[in-house]
Amino acid sequence: KTVLVLNGPNLNLLGTREPAVYGSQTLGDVEALSEAACKAHGLKLDFRQSNHEGVMIDAIQEAGRAQAAGTLIGVVLNAGAYTHTSVALHDAIKGSGVTLIELHISNVHAREAFRHHSYISPVAKAVMAGFGVKGYALAIGALAEITKPA
Ligand code: DQA
């Protein structure tokens, strides 16, 4: 089965973008550590990044169909700034019925007030923030754990 790791706007700039906040590892490094985490749990990785809200919505709808078909266990979503703005992503997650972990590299609650509200959290299974890029591996492990048949 597959895990979709979906990254939103500006995450293609990881490594050079505000390294004091997001660290010096690139999105390629994040893909490699996500791949390793999936492998450790016997899962396949579908790793994507888009700067476009509609492309992300299409990916979430696709993930919902894949989960319903039994080929995907869920999604790890770092929606970037769309976290704080996108009713459309909220609706897509809710409408698709997909199991989703909201992830942030930084601890958004320790930052500016406009990062404290999330449109994703009410429709997420769980939220992970502040673990740096290692959070991706932790979130994949957590998703594997909570979706494991009893
Ligand atoms: C982020 C936090 C968001 O507030 C910000 O807009 C991002 C990245 C994070 O991973 O910490 O783009 O989601």
In the chain, the domains with their CATH numbers are: 2-147 (3.40.50.9100)
For the question of an ipTM over 0.95, the answer is yes
Residue type, 4: L
| Rounded Cα distance, 34 and 80, in Å | 18
104 noted as active-site residue: yes
Report CA(69)–ligand 1 centroid distance (Å): 31
- pLDDT surpasses 80 at 150: no
Q: Give the separation between CA 109 and CA 104, rounded to whole angstroms.
A: 10
Residues having CB closer than 6 A to ligand 1 are 10, 78, 80-81, 83, 104-106, 108, 115
Indicate the pLDDT class of residue 136, thresholds 50, 70 and 90.
very high
The stretch 65-88 carries a mean pLDDT of: 98
Q: Is residue 114 over pLDDT 90? A: yes
Mean pLDDT across 124-128: 98
% of the chain exceeding 90 in pLDDT: 95
Convert 129-143 to b/e letters by CB count within 10 Å (16 or more is b).
bebebebbbbbbebb
Atom 7 of ligand 1, residue of closest alpha carbon? 80
**pLDDT tens digit sequence for 45-56:** 999 999 999 999
